[in-house]
Structure 1
Amino acid sequence: MSANAITIRRANPQDAAAFARIMGDAEVYPGLLQLPYPSEERLRVWLADMQQAGQPDLLLLAERGGNVVGSAGLHPAGNSLRRRHAMFLGLSVVREAQRLGVGSALMQALCDYADGWAHVLRLELTVYVDNVAAIALYRKFGFAVEGTHRAYALRDGAYVDAHAMARLHPRPPVLPSVA
């Protein structure tokens, strides 16, 4: 395997330092709903909670050249029985690994998992309207803008708008025909 190959794997509590590095990167967190100065210990507890049996969340990491360069997750869209078919998606890639296929590898893994294994009909996300590269990535995987949230979040002292984007399962499962 080449040094530039991208490996996708499930995150575990020992990855807390890598998560903190990504989420604390001044080039990354402004594009997320994260705050500066993440707590490595809090992330370790959160990652441990995600390992518990029955947790519907999926947390993935992308490694390139032996370094963690991205993260992605699927999370329930809510607790309502009527929303069990939907999951919320989050993704982050360190600046030096952007536009090198990391985001696409993570998105492919999330979509494959959602479509083939997790009984997910609808994937949802929000993305800041000025994050042109992320919007293009999401469109590549079948997401469409469904609306725009005005003044969605505070980012570095200014309110920013965000698009609500979603993707429906391209080939929803069907029951086999009765012979």
Structure 2
Amino acid sequence: MKNEPLHRDAAALEHRITIKAPEPSDMEAFAAIMSLPGVRRGTLQLGYRTVEQIAAWHERRLGKGVTVGAWLDGQLVGHAGLSVYPRARSHGAELGICVHDAYHGRGVGTALVQALVDSADGALGLRRIELTVFADNAPAIALYRKFGFVEEGRSRGYALRDGVLADALHMARLAEAPAFTPLTPVTSL
């Protein structure tokens, strides 16, 4: 019904979202998302990149972490990734995410961040995930807080957005090291 609250629509959509690794054939849809007005305004990435530029960027990221896409009814509606840091910082990664303008507030960001947090904790063994978000992006900040991210600092005039320098927050999620259970020696009978 038209008058149903958005949260009901979001719950219904959340169950239909598929998370999987993007394929080279998905780069055209990804480039289109990156050029949407809300994505350009809400991320620290450049918009208006060609499919070839997006594909090259995506290719460089492969093998350095995890990249996932969110599909709804066969359409790419979001993209996110973890870029694992090298050497002494290999316990951490940077998170980046974008959601199609028409799907904000409908569970896509939650599904993407959940997939990345699950990968960070379960497969990658990461202890720290970092991100940077515009300080006035309240919905994104609320999403990150839901997954245990906390503010660690604020950079004034951090990035140019719409011709004006905007502040950004630096947030991180720290995870405890997994418990270690020593093996019990096998005794012969």
TM-score, normalised by the number of residues in structure 2: 0.85
Hey, what does 2:155 align to over in structure 1? 149
State the alpha-carbon separation in 2 of the partners of residues 48 and 86 from structure 1: 21
Where does structure 2 lack aligned partners over 5 or more consecutive residues? 1-11, 185-189
C-alpha offsets along residues 79-120 of structure 1, whole Å, 9 cap, x if unaligned?
Answer: 3x2111010001111121111111110011000000000020
> Aligned AA for 1:124?
E
Determine the C-alpha separation between the residues in 2 that align with 1:102 and 1:9. 13
Contact in 2 for aligned 1:12/1:47 (Cα 8 Å): no
Point out the structure with max Rg over C-alpha.
2
For 1:166 and 1:98, the matched residues in 2 are separated by 22
Query: Which residue type is aligned with residue 124 of structure 2?
Result: A
Q: What residue is the counterpart of 1:138 in the other structure? A: 144
| Structure 1: gaps of 5 or more residues | none
Other-structure match for 1:73:
81
Q: Residue 32 in 1 paired to residue 38 in 2?
A: no
Q: Residue 33 of structure 1: CA displacement?
A: 1.2
- Calculate the aligned-residue CA RMSD, in Å: 1.5
Contact 2:80 2:96 in 1 (8 A): yes
Counterpart residue number, 1:13: 24
Residue aligning to 2:72 = 64
Partner Cα distance (1:178, 1:57) in 2? 30
Does the alignment pair 1:175 with 2:186? no
Note if contact 2:156-2:168 (Cα within 8 Å) is conserved in structure 1.
yes
Task: Flag the structure with higher helix content.
Answer: 2
Other-structure match for 1:113: 119
Which AA in structure 1 matches 2:131?
L
Q: Report if aligned partners of 1:57, 1:76 keep a CA contact under 8 Å in 2.
A: yes
Detail structure 1 runs of 4+ shifted over 2 Å in the superposition: 45-51
